Structure 1
Amino acid sequence: MSPDPETTPDNKPLPASPGLLRSSGLVGAMTMLSRVLGLVRDMVIARYFGAGAGADAFFVAFKIPNFLRRLFAEGAFSQAFVPVLSSYRAGQSVSDVKRLVNAVAGSLGMVLLAVTLVAMLGSPVLTTVFAPGFLDDEVKFALTSDMLRITFPYLLLISLTAFAGGILNSYDRFAVPAFTPVLLNLAMIAAAIWLAPLMEEPVMALAWGVLIAGALQLFFQLPFLMRLGLLPRPKVDYRHEGVSRILKLMLPALFGVSVSQINLLLDTVLASFLQTGSVSWLYYSDRLSELPLGVFGIAIATVILPSLSRKHASASVDRFAATLDWAVRAVLLIGVPAALALGLLAEPLIATLFGYGEVTDRDVIMSAQSLRAYSAGLLAFMLIKVLAPGFFAREDIRTPVRIGVIAMVANMVFNLILVFPLAHAGLALATSLSAWLNGFLLWRGLRRKGAWQSQPGWPRFFAQLVFANALLAGVILWLRAPVGEWLVMTGYQRATDMSVLVGSGVVVYFLALALAGVRVRHFRHR
């Protein structure tokens, strides 16, 4: 007999699933805390290490395992594992669910351990591949390779953390996985402030902070798995039916689900050939653009994947389409004003958050250029996050992979066209353009397959968005001081003025939505 869907694997009562809006809000709140601390972390790094050679070396050494984490753990693995686990939960016995968890834990752990050991031994090769421009600077190249040996085990630890988080998300325990990244930021802040002064090469402390954070994040989630009755007992079993299904879904999804991350990494490769500071400028601007992406886009995507997987398993076609439509509207409601604000406030935001210590006025201006380019694609990045689960919940991997190949090739072409006239900002703009192509093709694919069906009310909703965002832009342009004034302000003045700008914008935007007839009840969706 199949298990009762309203019980845990230990036959304990499972609370009714909260609505998607409430779950998204919970994940968004936890993610907001993490992202705010992430900005504090980057402010600390900028203050102590600036945008020099050491910072460039660390950002590459951190970006490689972090990229693989997004590509593998949060990307392909999560998109493949959650639907399979959901189908086991809906149609298999309790013991079958536990065997799946044990087999995945053992098989995943063994692969990750092997990859980690090879990468640590071959760190100079990875540095050559991902930052070939560093070959001309022996000190920067050696420093990057040394730090990569320390940071790469983070992939092993954070991938197992994503595995644990996937289990918790499948049982609607969203808060714990969403809170976990807070530990990364705390560990790196502590390393920059207290560990760096004790080391011969201070920037190496950041690499150790990444490694410590990976261990903290994994062990933090284990007690919650134990409470759920699903603490794994790892067993290597690649012949397990569930493991085979996950692998078949993962291999193509490794590329299809995270094309935007591959594009960002290509930016780093090309930026390594540009003037010193280019990698850091792209990093700081990318971090700011990821704040709304993580808080809202990824939060909504995290919540809808288990829901879509269950609806597909129960053949609820109309409810599947309604959930996708809800997710797209929710993204537009937040993504449009976020992109608008980042574009209009690029220099003030960079100056307020990072313009201290070793960061120069020129660094602020250059980072703002790439931030404005990333803001042009922010909405597309967010739409990709909520449209891709529409394919993965249906265990359809081929379509997003084909789309991913098209977007990747387009990004490479855009890079070559734009890098010469616009330098690092051209790389960011190319990423944004390819993201729009990716998002459009995903939407068209879902529509052709019948998974996307527009719900009533789109013309009215679009008009409401235009009205509210026009008022938001007007308020920002009215209150924003010239860029030159932001560069000479004290930190307190910047923080005060930015708070006024952000607060006024938020109030005006949501008041405008209310005047246009948008209500919270319109976005309640179970």
Structure 2
Amino acid sequence: MTTDRPTVAPPALPAPRPAPPGPGPAAAPRSRVLARAFGVTAVLSAAGSALGLLRDLLLARYFGANQGTDAFLVAWTVPETAAPLLIEDAMSFLMVPAFALALVLREERPDGPDPVRQVVRATLPWLLLALTTLSLGAALGAPQLVDLLAPGLADPRLAVTCTRITAITVLPFGVAGYLAAALRAHHRFTAPAGIYVAYNLGILVVLLSCHALWGVRSAAIGVALGSLLMAGLLIGPFLRALRTAPGRAARARRSRNALVLIPLALLPVGAFTLTRQAQVFIERYLGSGLPPGTISHLNYAAKVSQLAMTAGILICTVTFPLVARALAAGDLTAARDRVEKDLGQAAAVVLLGTAFLMACAPSVVALL
């Protein structure tokens, strides 16, 4: 500030050191929100895993480990690959950051077109078209797909029938992954955490009511029904999250500019998922040439061993949207700190669970 009177400059003083960053008034509410989100996600994910375990136990009880269950598991390769690709990996890694960036832009430009609606208009129609094409392709090409996955099956007809049924899951899985990514970016975790509860409930309902009538085909029909329930569970919360002020929504509809994603970004994610699923492909391929029931035994063992991994994934499921939001806002320090904590916590959970299963495998299998 300047004045009209001459002044004597005071001696230079050292600049005060900035106070170390503290938690701030918003830190406590954010911590409570994070803890509540983790708690809800943990409870619902644990419920989904418990229902999945019950599903596998019923499969073993009703159908055992034989040629029929082998055929169903070959057909289950389609949803078993589509679920991590479309729900856990591709949609999450691509769409959570996209929606997080759109939310940051919405806060920075409150009077302009809604970036969140721009992302939806630019991506959802093309996604639905691609998913429908993939689903129809898997159903029509079921004989060739079964021959590729399990060439040693003595009678592939049941596997082909089940594959045509489970091919339906590609479309609702992709929709569920897209909607779940949008909701998690909005920090709404309850509905996305409940999708596997709905999925396994659909399977269990059909298994319990129709296993005597349809045999192992009831499991395939249950998988298709469960996938539809997953997507249906998220539609209402997604539409509520998408609502904006009437004036802004009108401007958003008139705007022709849209945030566009690069489809090639899916390639590394898809390659990662298919590489991770390579164990399943190898098991089905080699097990098809071994005595009937081999594929089923391998599957039951894999399901038990995945429990530790599922517990570790809970941590990242809740905190990944926070990392994406911090990166979109340019806060690299917060993103790095969050990633470091997640890596340590997830590694501890997975290593502890792995050690337990390796030491107690006979007792766990005998109990189940």
The alignment status of 1:143 with 2:158, answered yes or no, reads: yes
Among 79, 91, 95, which residue is 2:105 paired with? 91
- Equivalent in the alignment of 1:274: 290
- Equivalent in the alignment of 2:122: 103
Equivalent-residue separation in structure 2 for 1:283 and 1:261 (angstroms): 13
Distance apart, 1:259 and its partner CA: 2.7
Among 262, 266, 269, which residue is 1:253 paired with? 269
The alignment status of 1:309 with 2:324, answered yes or no, reads: yes
Segments ≥4 residues shifted beyond 6 Å: none
Distance 1:67-1:308 versus aligned 2 partners, 3 A rule? same
Among 243, 261, 267, which residue is 1:244 paired with? 261
Secondary structure in structure 1 of the residue aligned to 2:265: helix
- Equivalent in the alignment of 2:201: 186
- Equivalent in the alignment of 1:127: 146
Secondary structure in structure 2 of the residue aligned to 1:152: helix
Among 75, 79, 85, which residue is 1:65 paired with? 79
Moved more, 165-174 or 188-197: 188-197
- Equivalent in the alignment of 1:321: 336
Native 8 Å contact 2:98 2:119 kept in 1: no
Letter of the structure 2 residue corresponding to residue 28 of structure 1: A
Native 8 Å contact 2:97 2:321 kept in 1: yes
- Equivalent in the alignment of 1:205: 218
Secondary structure in structure 2 of the residue aligned to 1:66: helix
Native 8 Å contact 1:24 1:299 kept in 2: yes
The alignment status of 1:300 with 2:330, answered yes or no, reads: no
TM-score (norm 1): 0.58
Matches within 5 A, 1:33-48: 33-48=47-62
Q: Greater RCO between the two (CA within 8 Å, min separation 6)? A: 2
Deviation string, structure 1 residues 470-495 (Cα, Å, up to 9, x no partner): xxxxxxxxxxxxxxxxxxxxxxxxxx
TM-score (norm 2): 0.82
Letter of the structure 2 residue corresponding to residue 108 of structure 1: L
Distance 1:272-1:151 versus aligned 2 partners, 3 A rule? same
Native 8 Å contact 2:75 2:162 kept in 1: yes
Native 8 Å contact 1:66 1:155 kept in 2: no
Distance apart, 1:69 and its partner CA: 2.5
Letter of the structure 1 residue corresponding to residue 353 of structure 2: A
- Equivalent in the alignment of 1:287: 303
Distance 1:338-1:21 versus aligned 2 partners, 3 A rule? farther
Native 8 Å contact 1:17 1:172 kept in 2: no
Distance 1:326-1:16 versus aligned 2 partners, 3 A rule? closer
Among 133, 142, 149, which residue is 1:114 paired with? 133
Q: How many residues align?
A: 324
Distance apart, 1:33 and its partner CA: 0.6
The alignment status of 1:74 with 2:88, answered yes or no, reads: yes
Distance 1:20-1:265 versus aligned 2 partners, 3 A rule? farther
Equivalent-residue separation in structure 2 for 1:276 and 1:308 (angstroms): 46
Distance 1:198-1:256 versus aligned 2 partners, 3 A rule? closer
The alignment status of 1:23 with 2:42, answered yes or no, reads: no
Equivalent-residue separation in structure 1 for 2:74 and 2:232 (angstroms): 26
Distance 1:229-1:77 versus aligned 2 partners, 3 A rule? closer
Distance apart, 1:95 and its partner CA: 2.1
Native 8 Å contact 2:84 2:273 kept in 1: no
Q: Any unmatched runs of 5+ in structure 1? A: 1-14, 232-238, 354-526
Native 8 Å contact 2:91 2:181 kept in 1: no
